[in-house]
Structure 1
Amino acid sequence: MSTAADRHAWSRPEPEAVAPGVLRVPLPLPFDALRAVNVYVLDDGPGLTLVDGGWTLSESRDLLDAALAAQGAGVGDIARFLVTHLHRDHYTQAVALRRETGARVSLGAGERGSLDVMADRAAPFAAQVVGLHGAGAHDLADAIVGTAPQMSEEEFADFAAPDDWIADGERIEVGGRELTALETPGHTLGHLVYERDDALFAGDHVLPHITPSIGFEPGARPGALQRFLSSLALVRARPDRLLLPAHGPVAPSVHARVDELLDHHSARLDEIERVVLGGAATGAEAAGALTWTRRETKLEDLEPFHRMLAVLETDAHLEVLAAQGRLVRDADASGVLQHRAA
């Protein structure tokens, strides 16, 4: 049986060669749940291409400097960042380093709408608060509004627009080998994975130890879970490859983990259908009848942020169950979505 220490060994600040011309560099994150984000350094001949950039943190920058120096390089050798999605632990350090070095930053075209919402300075978690009210979690919505962090001007600057918007299917040559960008919406609307002949740079789409959060982004967009499941099916239909995830260790098979994720969501759909048939009418009630994380924690024992993600993920499953005709979903006079047997 693996221990917790074994599961987190991947996050130690120890760069690892994981494929020809590819160095995995785990960079730290300021919270325990994810611990680190993997940035992949690809030797592109005269320069370097990085898949994802990390979070703008002094400790992250120091570790990236050290990892590159060990390879006889520095941040000035980075020519381009290929960012999988807009979340700050993937995007912001790339933008910060662009200001310093002039490196190009590329992002999936599907993230444009989310960046536009951020440019309008919408309140943090505004879309999520709307979703919580729709799920009947009014007290939690009020708590989130009261505790949502305000972004500083410096942090906001790290969400500047990219140099390139990458389209689905776009092909990019790196180090004499071709990467194909595949649009895999679900975790975010514009999430990309980068497919190479021997490996998949999977971002947060396929993670080896956890199930990715669904649709956590600035704009409210129904259908996130169905998009995620369809994106998993898309990746499953491609040839199997080495899994290079953004969080967690490298794994030998993309297909094996995709199968586990599909099985998880199928079981979760069945479980949520049962709790609704047992009397849970709203997303908040259904989430409260479930347990969360590998520790099977009760909803009320989660921190407010993770409770928010749990309620919204439950609501995303309820949306799919209604689309499949397994439940009826409609709003009451106050706008709260109610669910019942079909």
Structure 2
Amino acid sequence: MTTPDPGTPTAFAVSPDSGEHWTAEGAWQVDTGIHRIPLPLPMDGLKAINVYVIETDSGLTLVDGGWAIPVARDLLERCLKDIGAGFADINRFLVTHVHRDHFTMATVLGRELGIDVALGLGDKPALDLLNNTDALTENPFHAVLRSAGAHAVAEKWERLEGDDEGPDAELWQYPTSWLDGDHEIAVGARTVDAVHTPGHTPGHFVFADRTAGLLFAGDHVLPTITPSIGFTVPPTDQPLGDFMASLAKVRSLPDLRILPAHGPVAPSSYARVDALLDFHEERLTASLAALPAAGSGRTATGYDVAGALGWTRHLHAFDTLDVFSQGMAAMETKAHLDLLVARGQATCSDPQSSPDGVAYSAV
């Protein structure tokens, strides 16, 4: 929703491997034996997702799979052909997290072709929800929105969904293997560190090739935007705290070239992690300043505080955002407020007894 200033915005960013806009069609070589293939995300503000192809003597390992839609599948097949390969050459997907643009093509191709699909164990509760929709009485995000005090937004989201039949189970099949904890993975002759980086989702992983100086960063370290925080179900207690701790974990690795899921290849994980941490500290300060003082007799919800903040790199007023972005903003602001509570800088009402939204005040 908001972003530390990265210099060139995503909409105009050129990737150094291609010399073209980062979404340009192709299989762009980012390093020896590694290609970046941007796949389209129609009707999504992110425009594309970068899928990375790692060549080995025994076949291809892909980091992320793309969204399982025909236009993306066809493009992936064409781009693999350009490097002399095809779907039959893929022997593994390393999926950074469970969101549809990363996971669904992997699980569909995995099931069709017998390809190993690995996903972080922390994202299993989300798949459990998606595979047990008969037990749901409403979209689970509506409860998260109400907890943030965004009742009107939740109602509008419900109307926008209309007669939606719910998730297609074919797109949300369980992986063949789970990633659990930090560990090393052999990818042909390479050894990559699988690093658990919860925050954007509970099961997010990045993959660090220290020898080549590369970080397959998923949505954890993005070069021009910050990933959404708090937009996950089932909700977690401290998504922003988890995210910032995970950034610190990545900062403890060597300085690596960033191979992001969205945006251009970027030169320094150190520089970007530092910018993201500074940005969230600034947002925490702004969120705290927008809270009523303890003892004032007033409180505020995440929705209330979001309304007092600026959004996007241009710091647009909350009221000018579309309804989907307003919901994302309210959930992200609640994540900031929850971290302020954990730090002892704010207090809040009991979430279990706050049907109108968790109420916060500054200490």
Residues 10, 225 of structure 2: 8 Å contact kept: no
Q: Which residue of 1 aligns with 2:329?
A: 310
Q: Which residue of 1 aligns with 2:361?
A: 340
1:266 aligns with 2:285: no
Write the mapping of 1:39-78 to structure 2, written as runs, cut at 5 A.
39-78=51-90
Task: After TM superposition, give the deviation of residue 5 of structure 1 in Å.
Answer: 5.3
Matched, 1:86 2:86: no
Residue 299 of structure 1 contacts residue 307 of structure 1 at CA under 8 Å; is this kept in 2?
A: yes
TM-score, with length taken from structure 2: 0.89
8 Å Cα contact 1:128/1:312 also seen in 2: no
Give unmatched runs, 5+ long, in structure 1: none
Per-residue deviation, 1:2: 4.4
Q: Does 1:159 align with 2:172?
A: yes
Find the counterpart in structure 2 of residue 33 from structure 1. 45
1:334 shift after superposition: 4.3
Q: Using the TM superposition, give the Cα deviation of residue 287 of structure 1 relative to its aligned residue in structure 2, in angstroms.
A: 0.4
Q: Distance in 1 between matches of 2:359 and 2:153?
A: 18
* 1:98 to 1:32, Cα distance in 2 relative to 1, 3 A: closer
Q: Which residue in 2 is equivalent to 1:283? A: 302
What's the counterpart of residue 13 of structure 2? Answer: 7
Off by >6 Å, runs of 4+ in structure 1: none
Comparing both structures, which one devotes a greater share of its residues to helix? 1
- Where does residue 234 of structure 2 map in the other structure? 219
CA offsets 1:130-178 (integer angstroms, 9 cap, x no match): 122122221111112222373567x321110111011222321113010
Q: How many residues align?
A: 341
Runs (5+) with no aligned partner, structure 2: 1-6, 15-20
Identity in percent: 43
The C-alpha deviation readout for 1:234-254, integer Å capped at 9, x for no partner, is: 111111111111000111111
Distance 1:33 1:106, change over 3 A: same
Amino acid at match of 2:47: R
Find the residue that maps to 1:276 and give its secondary structure: coil
* CA deviations over 1:11-65 (Å, ceiling 9, x no partner): 1113211122110000000124101000000001121000000001111111111
Cα gap change, 1:341 to 1:3, in 2 (>3 Å): closer
1:129 maps to a residue whose letter is: H
Instruction: Please list, as runs of the form range in 1=range in 2, the aligned pairs for 1:79-228 lying within 5 A after superposition.
Output: 79-121=91-133, 123=136, 126-148=139-161, 150=164, 155-197=168-210, 198-228=213-243
Worse overlay, 121-130 or 66-75: 121-130
Task: Identify if the C-alpha distance between structure 1 residues 314 and 79 changes in structure 2 by more than 3 Å, giving closer, same or farther.
Answer: same
Alpha-carbon displacement from aligned partner over 1:209-231 (angstroms, at most 9, x marks no partner): 11100132231222111100110
Counterpart amino acid of residue 323 in structure 2: P
Letter in 2 for 1:93: M
SS of 1:230's partner is: helix
Structure with larger RCO (C-alpha < 8 A, sep 6+): 2
- Confirm or deny: 8 A CA contact 2:61 2:187 kept in the other structure: yes
Residue 17 of structure 2 aligns with which residue? Answer: none
- TM-score using structure 1 length: 0.94
